[in-house]
Amino acid sequence: MDHHYGTANTEHASLYLKKLCRHFSHKVETEFDDHQGRIRFPFGTCELTADGTTLQLHCQADIDQIATLRDVIERHLVRFATRDTLTVNWQ
């Protein structure tokens, strides 16, 4: 299992967390509130945490799937971030 951590600086972290989780809840298992969320894909899991200025992402997947998981999360997040020009910094 590989782990990647990402952060996105935004004052709308909670809004984007909820939008992302709500979007994927139609297809996969999700759970979320205003400050925490989890999206469980067949190929990996993304845990999200939001505070006043940052959205934190913790992606976990097999080594051959982690890039796919990161790409899916980042593409959707950037698309939903209509109030910001959002950049995810991965570690």
Task: Give the pLDDT of residue 57.
Answer: 98
Amino acid at 74: E
Tell me the pLDDT tens digit for each residue of 57-87: 999 999 999 999 999 999 999 999 887 889 9
Alpha helices in 1-91 (DSSP H): 13-24, 66-80
Give Cα separations from 80 to 2, 45, 62, 63 (angstroms): 26, 19, 26, 27
Task: Give the pLDDT of residue 24.
Answer: 97
Tell me the pLDDT tens digit for each residue of 35-45: 999 999 999 99
pTM for the whole structure: 0.94
Residue 73 Cα to chain centre, angstroms: 5
CA separation for the pair 40, 46 (Å, rounded): 7
Task: Give the pLDDT of residue 82.
Answer: 82
